[in-house]
Amino acid sequence: MDLTRTEVTDAAVRKDRRGSAARFGLLALPVAFFAAFFAYPVAAIVARGLKVDGVWRFGRIGEVLAQSDVRHVLWFTTWQALVSTALTLVIALPGAYVFARFEFRGKQVLRAIVTVPFVLPTVVVGTAFLALVGRGGLLDQLWGVRLDTTVWAILLAHVFFNYAVVVRTVGGLWAQLDPRQEEAARMLGASPTKAWRQVTLPALAPAVAAAALMVFLFTFTSFGVVQILGGPTFSTLEVEIYRQTSEIFDLSTAAVLTLIQFVAVGAILALHAWTVRRRETALRLVDASVTARRPRGAGQWALLGGVLLTVVVLLLLPLAVLVQRSLDAPGFGYYRALTRADGGIFLVAPIEAIGNSLGYALAATVIAVVIGGLAAVALTRRDAGRFVRGFDALLMLPLGVSAVTVGFGFLITLDEPPLDLRSSWILVPLAQALVGVPFVVRTMLPVLRAVDVRLREAASVLGASPWRVWREVDLPMVRRALLIAAGFAFAVSLGEFGATVFIARPDNPTLPVAVARLLGRPGELNYGQAMALSTILMAVCAVALLVLERLRTADRTGEF
């Protein structure tokens, strides 16, 4: 039966309304979450710093920017972040290719090892590199070379910390790109370099941009690494905010620096979102298990050997230093000391931080996957409006805003009904989930946007509900990315320190907080216990990541 023009128009209107309702329904929970646990605490802490007797002092911004030491901090923060990002991409992209395209013995174990440095507390990373490149360190003992007084120590530590971001973010998409597209270009006469540059690189651009963005944000807001390796010479905005808040107690200056960091990160995210939207195209994805193969030829074996050498020198050597320092005491003395409460900085035995961290990280992962998954699905809808696209950039702001500000904001805002959470255990997972959500969104978006929209439309035409379309079309394609996102959220939750140090209760410390407290106390025993806890954290992360790798492998083969 033919439909009248009015009936067709009414059907289109109803479809648009259902699409709008679905879109805003998906965003309702993420928007509420970020409004309550990010925007409100940050706005409150900034207002407290810039308001005096109820009057806003915006002139304070110009006063702070006029200070030469502040301008120097701004310049160094930006410069070192750009150089750190470039170095990380250059060193890590070959690793992303190897993990995506090569199949070799021990690949799962090596993938887990590569990710472990990323979850270490930044204070531990700084200490490990100080042991390598500082006075009396390994380089000093072998060749008389010291790098602790130069910026190179900071740059190398940032590459160590962020190597996994590029490998897993870019490699996750690279493994699912159909290699036949590049092979077709080769058959048409293109050189290997030209085929890669014109076919593969444009397809990888969204993932590379996302990885570069995350690396830049982490290095732009670097705290523990610069605090230890930078000394009095080098200071980032994050270090300066902490110093103004905790040491000088100048909340006004700290608020201005927080605003500067907030605006800078917002501009970067807006530019990134615009660039990614211009480059994104429909990708042809295949099962990752059919793209990986054993290396062929001397060149590919040399590439694999070079990546393995990079992992050993850049990643394993600092980790080996931590393990060696934790075993300095005879009879595992530092580990045995962790089972005793000293009644000082810990109300419980430091070993209990392991269970606390695992429980908090699991809860934070669930929160991050739910919030980030809903947001990612909403952002991939074709009817997404300007507000939704803007929310894409806002989701990344927790990575660029001072964790010190967020943690302090939790303390002064979530202290009265209906959000009186000061005595609740959920406060720590909420803070950790804020950092995990951007990883979930950034990991899932490139794959979700690569799903051919015609598959969804065909399922809808056949009468499938939106939920069934998601379950039957999207979920099989993004299941692998979802597992990677969950692993990232779990990893960053285990290592989160900046906000947790303000809100973790003395009787329920996390591993990073316990390590930082031990490092802050003088004495060989405290230092050794910090190294022992760091080694335990590495082991816990390695086991968790190996389990994740097994799940991903089982998902590809259909065996559980």
Block mean pLDDT (10 aa), the chain, length 560: 48 47 70 88 79 71 81 90 94 88 80 77 76 70 69 89 86 73 70 72 79 84 80 80 76 80 75 58 51 74 88 86 83 85 66 86 92 83 58 72 77 76 84 87 77 69 69 72 81 79 80 80 81 82 69 48
CA distances from 523 to 331, 340, 526, 527, 530 (A): 19, 16, 6, 6, 11
Q: What's the CA gap between 331 and 328, in Å, rounded?
A: 9
pLDDT of residue 17: 46
Measured torsion, CA atoms of residues 141, 143, 144, 146, in degrees rounded to the nearest 10: -90
Nearest alpha-carbon partner for 480 in 442, 447, 439: 447
Residue ranges of the alpha helices (H) in 317-473? 317-326, 333-337, 353-379, 386-394, 397-400, 403-413, 427-450, 453-461, 466-469
Write down the residue that tokens 């160590």 correspond to.
Answer: 160
Rounded to two decimals, what is the model's pTM? Answer: 0.73
Residues whose CB falls within 8 Å of the CB of residue 7, separated by 6 or more in sequence, listed in order: none
Structure tokens at 177: 């790109």
Q: What's the CA gap between 361 and 348, in Å, rounded?
A: 20
Per-residue exposure over 407-442, b if at least 16 CB sit within 10 Å of its own CB, e if not: bbbbeebbeeeebebeeeeebbbbbbbbbbbbbbbb
pLDDT of residue 126: 77
Q: What's the CA gap between 304 and 312, in Å, rounded?
A: 12
Q: Are 27 and 391 in contact (CB under 8 A)?
A: yes
Q: What's the CA gap between 504 and 422, in Å, rounded?
A: 10
Residues whose CB falls within 8 Å of the CB of residue 23, separated by 6 or more in sequence, listed in order: 378, 381, 383, 384, 385, 388
pLDDT of residue 54: 67
pLDDT of residue 447: 76
Q: What's the CA gap between 113 and 361, in Å, rounded?
A: 19
